[in-house]
Each structure stands twice: as structure tokens, then as C-alpha cells.
């Protein structure tokens, strides 16, 4: 029997209303097809371990062996040593996300696709859900970034900020990587020097199979590296100029589309007296400072030079002593950092997606709209922290 394309399976098993189970909860096979779809739509397809679950929490067993298993063996003598295995668990706690949207009667009647427009729009929202999930996997931070109210809600203040509650659901890989091996590039531009520092920071036991390692970075950072290669009067330079490129030190590179060139970062910093406190990154930009308690109410940011002093190049912040920030107050500092990259094993990323996916439809007769909600549970983790290298403070030049 001929194989049905994955996208067609999604349309047949998930999107059409007559395929929905009671109350919109997808059947196991439908749910698996939908999960396949949202994974295939992202860069994670071949670069992450996907775990499907039904429980509220998921524990993944890890089994390892100590640093050395072999011992000397003398003739006819028991070595007197027995090696064991190390066991531990990776815990994933999923969070529930929803995509709510409406399709009006007038739009459905006048568009050129007619009744088929509903299936098409739901497909588009499913694709956007895949992108939103990847954004959370990469840039999530439980502290919660400050974001303009209009940018977050699509309406509201263009000058006041609220907490990004979506990205605060989970710590993404950029944050989780801070618990691994961190290298400060000190402003050095992307190149073999930076890649070499990252490899040397990786424990040797994880370097043996370089083909299983991956460089993860923003497309713009990879573009800078290709531009650097293209300046070389060699066949490798010609290849880079033609849009190709090699894997630095034999390690394939993965461009992550939703990884910003200057990644958004948020920290909570306690300011005592007028002593400067160092941020995690130097050469910061687009800095906004708020009370640590920033939430859903749109709030004005603190004012630089009036409430705080910032040294963007050094990455430090201090109270002025005479502004609205009190002595000992903890503030939320949201900023754009210098470029970053992560080196890790291809299967070290873990994406947890719950099988209890719902696509529900309702009718609002007074508004004349069909209402939809796509609901899923997701979680994100690394399997092995010591197999991660994060390089921060990379330069922005070629």
C-alpha cells in the first residue's frame, strides 16, 4: 500500500471536524500524527529526542558507568573489586499551552476557498503552534522576560511592559545550558578559535564520536562564519561563498531559526548600595529594568541614570542611590545579549509532548464565529548537563 504523506495524514486524522473524538480529545493514533507534524515543522526533527507521555510528570531513567571499569588481573586471583552502574533520572514536568482562535462567518463566506478555509486556517495555526513550541524550547526562562504590552497582547501600551508568561512556563535550552560547561568568548568573533574553545571545554568522554555532536546557533551567527570562510582564497572559501560550508572540526552545524542573533536574556539582580553588580553577559543592549514582581499589569520601566546606572559594555548595573530602586531591592533586568552557541550531542535535547492533545470547536451564535482551541502539554530538558558546552559573549563581527 502506498504511503500517505505526513501532511495529508494530519489533515485526515486531526484537522477535519468529523475525525475528532468526543469533546475534541484526539484518539491515540491521531495524537501521534499531530505530534509528528509539529515536530517535523521544526528544526528539532533530527536534533532532539522526543518523548511522548500521558502522566503529569515524566521520569526518564539514565544508566551510566563510572570513569573506569577495568582493573588489573593477576593469575588465579580474584581482583576483589566489583564495578557497578550509576543510575539517575531526568524529570520533566509538562506545562499546558493553548492556541485559541476564531473564524468569522463573513470571512468564511467571502474567501475564495469557501468552506475549505477552516481546514486551511487550522493547519496554519498548527504550524504556528510548532514554531511557538520551538521558541519556548530555545528561549524559555522561568523568571519571565519583560515585553511591551502591545507586542505581547497585540494591543495595549507601546511603552509599558508586562511579563511574558508564555516564555516563563519553562526554562529553555539557553538557560538550562548555564548548568553545563560555560565558555566566555570575551568578544572574540565566530571562527575556529571560538569553536576550538568549545570543544576543549567538552569532557573528553563526550568527544569520541564527533559526528554525534552538533553546533546549535542562530542563522545569523552561522552566516557570519560562512562570510569569514568566503574571504579565504581556497576551495573551502569558494564553497562557503556558494552557500555551502563545512562542519567546524568535523561537527555538523544546525541553524535554529527561532534563536535570535542577539538572544533575549532576563536576570533577577539584587542591588545593594551603589555597588555595581555583574550580569551574565557583557556588551548588552536594549536593556529594560523593572521590579522583580512585574506581572500582568502594564508597568513603566525604571529610568536609566535616574534609577540605575548601566555599563552596557562591561555588563554591570548599579543603583544611583537617589531613584525609585530601594537599597536591597531585587530588579528584573531584560536585555539582548551577545551571540551565543551550544555544543552538545544530537540526542541530548529532550522534548516531552503529552499525548492528550485536544482540538476543540464551538459556536458563538451572537458573534457569528466558530471558536477553536488547540491544547497540548509540553516539557523541555537536557539528558546530560555535563555533555553541554555553552559559548557566550561571542563578537558580532566577521
Query: CA-to-CA distance for 8 and 14, rounded, in angstroms?
Result: 10
- 1 pLDDT more than 60: no
Which residue, among 64, 63, 119, 104, has the nearest Cα to 368 in the 3D structure?
104
The 10 Å Cβ neighbour count of residue 272 is 11
**Residue 199 pLDDT:** 97
| Element of type H or E holding 122 | helix 117-139
**Residue 17 pLDDT:** 39
**Residue 334 pLDDT:** 98
**Residue 48 pLDDT:** 83
Q: Judge contact between 361 and 355, C-beta under 8 A.
A: no
- 269 pLDDT more than 60: yes
Mean pLDDT within 297-307 = 98
**Residue 245 pLDDT:** 60
Query: CA-to-CA distance for 27 and 21, rounded, in angstroms?
Result: 6
Q: What digits encode the pLDDT tens for the residues 201-254?
A: 999 988 888 889 999 999 999 999 999 988 865 665 556 555 556 789 999 999
Q: Exposure of 71 by Cβ count < 10 A (0-12 exposed, 13-18 middle, 19+ buried)? A: exposed
Q: What digits encode the pLDDT tens for the residues 129-145?
A: 888 988 999 999 999 99
CB-based contacts of 116, cutoff 8 Å, min separation 6: none
Mean pLDDT within 33-59 = 75
**Residue 299 pLDDT:** 98
| Element of type H or E holding 360 | strand 358-364
Instruction: Using pLDDT thresholds of 50, 70 and 90, give the confidence band for residue 6.
Output: very low
Question: Which of 17-26, 55-64, 244-253, 374-383 has the lowest average pLDDT?
Answer: 17-26
**Residue 65 pLDDT:** 47
When the pLDDT of each residue in the chain is averaged and rounded to a whole number, the result is: 84
Instruction: Using pLDDT thresholds of 50, 70 and 90, give the confidence band for residue 9.
Output: very low
- 351 pLDDT more than 90: no
- 188 pLDDT more than 80: yes
- 261 pLDDT more than 70: yes
Amino acid at each position: 500500500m502506498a504511503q500517505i504523506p505526513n501532511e495529508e495524514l494530519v489533515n485526515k486524522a486531526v484537522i477535519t471536524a468529523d475525525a475528532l473524538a468526543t469533546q475534541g480529545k484526539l484518539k491515540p493514533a491521531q495524537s501521534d500524527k499531530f505530534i509528528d507534524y509539529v515536530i517535523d515543522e521544526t528544526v528539532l526533527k533530527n536534533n532532539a529526542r522526543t518523548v511522548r507521555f500521558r502522566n503529569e510528570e515524566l521520569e526518564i531513567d539514565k544508566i551510566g558507568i563510572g570513569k573506569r571499569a577495568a582493573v588489573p588481573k593477576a593469575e588465579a586471583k580474584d581482583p576483589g573489586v566489583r564495578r557497578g552502574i550509576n543510575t539517575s533520572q531526568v524529570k520533566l514536568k509538562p506545562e499546558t499551552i493553548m492556541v485559541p482562535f476564531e473564524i468569522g462567518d463573513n470571512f468564511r463566506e467571502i474567501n475564495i476557498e469557501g468552506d475549505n478555509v477552516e481546514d486551511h486556517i487550522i493547519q496554519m495555526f498548527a504550524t504556528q503552534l510548532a514554531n511557538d513550541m520551538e521558541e519556548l524550547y530555545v528561549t524559555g526562562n522561568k523568571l519571565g522576560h519583560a515585553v511591551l504590552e502591545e507586542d505581547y497582547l497585540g494591543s495595549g501600551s507601546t511603552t509599558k511592559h508586562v511579563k511574558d508568561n508564555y516564555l516563563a512556563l519553562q526554562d529553555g535550552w539557553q538557560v538550562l545550558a548555564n548548568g553545563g560547561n560555560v565558555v566566555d568568548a570575551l568578544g572574540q568573533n565566530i571562527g575556529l578559535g571560538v569553536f576550538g574553545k568549545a570543544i576543549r571545554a567538552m569532557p573528553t568522554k563526550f568527544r569520541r564520536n564527533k559526528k554525534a555532536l552538533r553546533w546549535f546557533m542562530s542563522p545569523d551567527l552561522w552566516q557570519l562564519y560562512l562570510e569569514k570562510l568566503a574571504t579565504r582564497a581556497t576551495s573551502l572559501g569558494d564553497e562557503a561563498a556558494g552557500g555551502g560550508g563545512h562542519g567546524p572540526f568535523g561537527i555538523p552545524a544546525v541553524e535554529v531559526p527561532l534563536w535570535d542573533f542577539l538572544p533575549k536574556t532576563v536576570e533577577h539582580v539584587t542591588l545593594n548600595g551603589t555597588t555595581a553588580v555583574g550580569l551574565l553577559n557583557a556588551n548588552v543592549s536594549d536593556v529594560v529594568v523593572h521590579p522583580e514582581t512585574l506581572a500582568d499589569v502594564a508597568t513603566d520601566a525604571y529610568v536609566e541614570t535616574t534609577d540605575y546606572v548601566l555599563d552596557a559594555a562591561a555588563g554591570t548595573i548599579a543603583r544611583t542611590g537617589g531613584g525609585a530602586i530601594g537599597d536591597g531591592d531585587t530588579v528584573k533586568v531584560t536585555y539582548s545579549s551577545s551571540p551565543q552557541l551550544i555544543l552538545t550531542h544530537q540526542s541530548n535535547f529532550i522534548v516531552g509532548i503529552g499525548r492528550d492533545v485536544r482540538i476543540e470547536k464551538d459556536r458563538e451564535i451572537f458573534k457569528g464565529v466558530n471558536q477553536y482551541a488547540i491544547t497540548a502539554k509540553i516539557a523541555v530538558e537536557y539528558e546530560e548537563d555535563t555533555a553541554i558546552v555553552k559559548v557566550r559573549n561571542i563578537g558580532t563581527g566577521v
